[in-house]
Chains A and B, each alone.
Chain A
Amino acid sequence: MSKGDRVFFVRMNNSSRPMPNGELDAYLADRWPSASELAQA
């Protein structure tokens, strides 16, 4: 990973992979709804 890149890693089966940016907001809202609400407030 190069400096400046900000990547959110998740576990997918037997590997650790970056969550695609297009799916990240939905994942965060589903997994930590209260955190997402706070972020939007």
Chain B
Amino acid sequence: MLTKPDPTLTDDEQELVKGVAKRLLAHVHERLVLDWRHKAETMADVRVAIRDVLDELPAEPYPRPVYDAKVQVVFDHVCTVYGDDGASVYEEAVPVPTPEAPSASLSVDEITDSVVRKIPSDAEFAELVAQHLRGEAPTFARSIDELLDNDEDDAVEFKSTARWDVREERRNPALEDAIVKTVAAFLNCEGGTLLIGIGPDGSLVGLELDYAHVKPANGDGFVNWLTTHLSNALGAASVMRTRARIVPHAGAEICRLDVARSSRPSGRI
């Protein structure tokens, strides 16, 4: 959380940040009391604690805007993860996961060993595993196939194209606006994933039609256009809470855009 998606740290800085993260966890735990989320004073105290501890971060890779963003991200995370009894979801017993399909290079035993070793030392990973087991995995942690196995919902949207209107056979700015609306809505709610190149019924459309209207006419050009388009409409800070990737699917390419919930109202457009 303190290093993703940025900044990039040297080995020494990584060690320093790890120490800060440990102190942060201890300080936050000290301040979590019953019904803490309903007490403005306690919430303010938690925020101050986060600011104080993160103030120890090295100034070079954490200039003021990055520092402020990290404080907000950590505070949002604490609000989400810690219950009103002050107990963290990290403290729940997490059953050992049993991956159904191993990757090509790892056996099930190797995956199991790796997951079991990682859970006690990586709270975020443990929470993701727990969410998977509860069937509540956030969309960014779901595969394309998992997303396509279900219909669109509050956190999943499919768009056939982003620029080219198939029915009217022309570039249509309304489609570009629709992408912005979806991203803004995800930012202002619980986040979500937008798949571009997938029809509303889950059918494969691919990106070739849109590639003809970006430069260069490929995935790199498409992501570059998408980033600029969203940044112009919603602001760079909002776009920094998104991650766009071109992914192969069934012999074509589609764009996967994962959007995190925003730490502040976003995209009043």
Contact = CB atoms under 8 A, between A and B. Distances in A.
A40 interface: no
A13 B153 CA distance: 5
Interface residues of A, number: 19
B157 interface: yes
Contacts of A33: 40
A12 B154 CA distance: 6
Interface core residue of A12, A13, A14, A19 (most chain B CB under 10 Å): A14
Nearest to A14: B152
B268 A10 contact: no
Contacts of A16: 157, 178, 181-182, 184-185
A10 B185 contact: yes
B154 A13 contact: yes
B130 to A, nearest CB: 24
B151 interface: yes
Given A9-B185, A9-B188, A14 B269 contact: no
B19 interface: no
Contacts of A9: 181-182, 184-185, 188, 267, 269
From DSSP, what is the main secondary structure of chain B's interface residues? mixed
Q: Size class of B's contact patch? A: 20 to 34
A26 to B, nearest CB: 13
A8 B188 contact: yes
Interface in B248-269: 263-265, 267-269
Interface in B168-209: 177-178, 181-182, 184-186, 188-190, 192
Interface in B129-182: 151-155, 157, 177-178, 181-182
A8 to B, nearest CB: 5
A10 B43 CA distance: 26
A1 B185 CA distance: 15
A16 B152 CA distance: 11
Interface core residue of B43, B178, B181 (most chain A CB under 10 Å): B181
Given A1-B177, A16-B184, A11 B154 contact: yes
Interface core residue of B151, B188, B267 (most chain A CB under 10 Å): B188
Nearest to A12: B154
Contacts of B151: 14
Contacts of B181: 1, 9, 16
A12 B189 CA distance: 9
11 contacts: A1-B177, A6-B268, A9-B269, A11-B186, A13-B153, A13-B154, A14-B153, A14-B154, A16-B157, A28-B265, A34-B47
